[in-house]
Homo-oligomer: A and B are copies of this chain.
Amino acid sequence: MQNIKSYIDEHKQRFIDELIDLLKIPSISADSAYKKDVLNTADAIKVSLEKAGCDKVEICPTDGYPIVYGEKIIDINLPTVLVYGHYDVQPPDPLDLWNSPPFEPVIQNTDKHPEGAIFARGACDDKGQMYMHVKALEYMTNNNELPCNVKFMIEGEEEVGSANLGKFVAANREKLENDVILISDTGMIAKNVPSITTGLRGLSYVEVEVTGPNRDLHSGLYGGAVANPINVLTKMIASLHDENNHITIPGFYDKVENLSDEERAEMAKAPFSLDNYKKALDIDAVYGEEGYTTNERNSIRPTLDVNGIWGGYTGEGAKTVIASKAFAKISMRLVPNQDWEEITQLFKTHFESIAPDAVKVKVTPHHGGQGYVTPIDSTGYQAASKAYEETFGKTPIPQRSGGSIPIVSLFEQELKSKTILMGFGLDSDAIHSPNEHFGVWNYLKGIETIPWFYKYFTELKSAE
């Protein structure tokens, strides 16, 4: 791996240009208006994997968007690394908050990224982080330093719940057989504080609809006499948290794992400044479940957040109307041991039970996934830790993330292998937000670190 630094220096402009080309395609899986762009992105991924050295690349159709599969098998007796990533992106709205168009990438310097950052939807989540693996493979093949077999599985439905990935994995166990799964779709604490994500939260995403009268009504003639679906929806949603911001759904916490004081003390060692956190978000106070720190609230504790709400007249000016319907999109982040389908059912049963007779309620489950924890004594974790030591000069910190990559627990169940989450983005990279970006330094550092993982994983695995 000695030439990796010089190889990157030599090719970094091309690495950046290739990523920028990929970021120009608006592969928004949540909005069917972009179907063609999502499909074109899959084609682009196929070509890039072939160029990077895969022997066999195929676009595998699903009931939704296709999965791009690629592999380079050098010796069936050697270990195999399966790389997972996704080529779809979140919707970019609200568009007016972007400083530059989300699909016209620009490089700007920021305080956190003095070497420049690429601003575009998907720059970090996940096109940028996924493409590091493609370029790492290019390095290893071009320099005959690939120490083991590699397989790629890049999907196009991660941002909408990976509805078809499970079926694909179950139907292709042999093809996907591997010794470890490697994913870069998480973050690191700071550029000088490398970290490996060892825990992920699960997710249950639902949409609710409250119907009152069969048509919009004049709020003067009917106001006060009929249930206003918006007023009722606010009451129902408000009741889902008690005065301590504890979720009130019966049974919701039954399977939540409670960390020991030792584990919580260990977590608390991660560098964190509440003042900087508040300053970065321009808030006067944090807000959350009584009895837990900010870092615990967004990692080891489950949540219930309204992601969208709408109803009635939302246009310019005033309209004195009582809407017939009100809607909300609600997601719950879950912790290991909480089963997302069980939680979804608990939500549905409870939400329907708290509706007054004067309205009708419909709860539509959207998608979800289980939480996950990676043991730090696993071969994969050890190999990743040594790789960071090579390129960052320090041992990475194991970190629980509040995010969800639902398919990770699915992989373990179907493929019986552990997943290692090597993330190179920063929390401040604004993924899912306007002005998402990915540091050029982080991008290149990822490309530099990944080959070392292959080296150490192969060595440790052979020594087992």
With contacts A91-B313, A307-B312 taken as known, whether A288 is within 8 angstroms of B432 at the C-beta atoms is no
Task: For A427, give its contact among B221, B231, B311 (CB under 8 Å).
Answer: B221
Please state if A331 and B432 are interface contacts (CB–CB under 8 Å): no
Q: List chain B residues, Cβ under 8 A from A432.
A: 216-219, 319-321
| A311 CA / B311 CA spacing, docked (Å) | 10
Contacts of A434 in B (CB 8 A): 215-216
Question: Is A133 among interface residues, defined by CB-CB distance under 8 A?
Answer: no
Interface string of A227-263 (1 = CB under 8 A from B): 1101111110111010000000000000000000000
Q: Min CB distance, A159 to chain B, in Å? A: 8
Say yes or no: A287-B161 contact (C-beta < 8 A), given A215-B433, A313-B307, A319-B90.
no
Contact of A298 among B160, B221, B302, B311 (CB under 8 A): B221
Q: Which of A46-54, A172-180, A277-285, A339-347 is the contact stretch?
A: A277-285
Q: Is A203 in contact with chain B by the CB < 8 A criterion? A: yes
CA distance in complex: A218, B97 (Å): 15
Q: Contact between B319 and A308 (Cβ–Cβ < 8 Å)?
A: yes
Give A304 Cβ to nearest chain B Cβ, in Å.
8
Residue in B159, B203, B226, B305 whose beta carbon sits within 8 Å of that of A281 in the complex: B226
Q: Does A357 contact B (CB under 8 A)?
A: yes
Cβ B318 vs Cβ A307 within 8 A: yes
How far, in whole Å, are A225 and B357 apart by their CA atoms in the complex? 34
CB neighbors of B among A268-304 (8 A): 281-289, 294-295, 297-298, 301-304
In angstroms, Cα B327 to Cα A94, docked, is: 15
A205 at the interface (CB under 8 A from B): yes
* CA–CA, A237 and B97, complex, Å: 27
Say yes or no for A27: interface residue by CB 8 A criterion. no
Which of A10-18, A66-74, A137-145, A399-407 has 4 or more CB atoms under 8 Å from chain B?
A: A399-407
A314 at the interface (CB under 8 A from B): yes
Interface centre among A232, A303, A434, by most B CB within 10 Å?
A303
Chain B residues within an 8 Å CB radius of A222: 298, 402
Residues of B within 8 A of A201 (CB): 220
Number of interface residues of A (CB under 8 A): 102
Minimum distance in angstroms from A188 CB to a CB of chain B = 12
Q: Check: A223 CB closer than 8 A to any chain B CB.
A: yes
Given contact pairs A307-B312, A317-B160, A318-B307, A287 touches B226 in the complex (Cβ within 8 A): yes
| A294 and B220 in contact, given A30-B319, A315-B91, A321-B307 (Cβ under 8 angstroms) | no
A313: which of B237, B285, B301, B329 is its contact (CB, 8 Å)?
A: B329
Cβ contact of A315, chosen from B30, B315, B322, B358, cutoff 8 A: B30
Contact B402 A224 (CB under 8 A): yes
Residue of B nearest to A313 (CB): B308
Contacting A220 at CB < 8 Å: which of B308, B404, B433? Answer: B404
- Does residue A366 face the partner (Cβ distance < 8 Å to B)? yes
When distances are taken between beta carbons in the complex, the residues of chain B under 8 Å from A237 are 231, 234, 238
Q: How far is the CA of A233 from the CA of B231 in the complex (A)?
A: 11
A101 contacts B by Cβ under 8 Å: no
Q: Within the assembled complex, what's the spacing in Å between the Cα atoms of A312 and B433?
A: 11
Contact partner of A303 (CB less than 8 A), chosen from B212, B223, B283, B314, is B223
| A60 interface hit (Cβ, 8 Å) | no
Contacts of A357 in B (CB 8 A): 284-285
Query: Shortest Cβ distance from A360 into chain B, in angstroms?
Result: 8
Q: Does A214 belong to the interface (CB within 8 Å)?
A: yes
The 6 A-B pairs at the shortest CB distance, nearest first, are namely A220-B403, A30-B317, A227-B287, A308-B312, A238-B238, A224-B303
Which A residues contact B (CB, under 8 angstroms)?
A: 29-32, 90-91, 93-94, 97, 159-161, 187, 201, 203, 205, 212-228, 230-235, 237-239, 241, 281-289, 294-295, 297-298, 301-323, 326-329, 331, 333, 356-359, 366-367, 401-404, 427, 430-435
What are 27 A-B interface contacts by the 8 Å CB criterion?
Answer: A32-B316, A97-B215, A212-B281, A215-B281, A218-B433, A219-B303, A221-B402, A223-B402, A224-B288, A224-B297, A224-B301, A226-B283, A226-B288, A228-B305, A231-B241, A234-B234, A234-B235, A238-B239, A286-B358, A287-B356, A287-B359, A308-B319, A309-B309, A310-B314, A314-B327, A319-B432, A320-B404
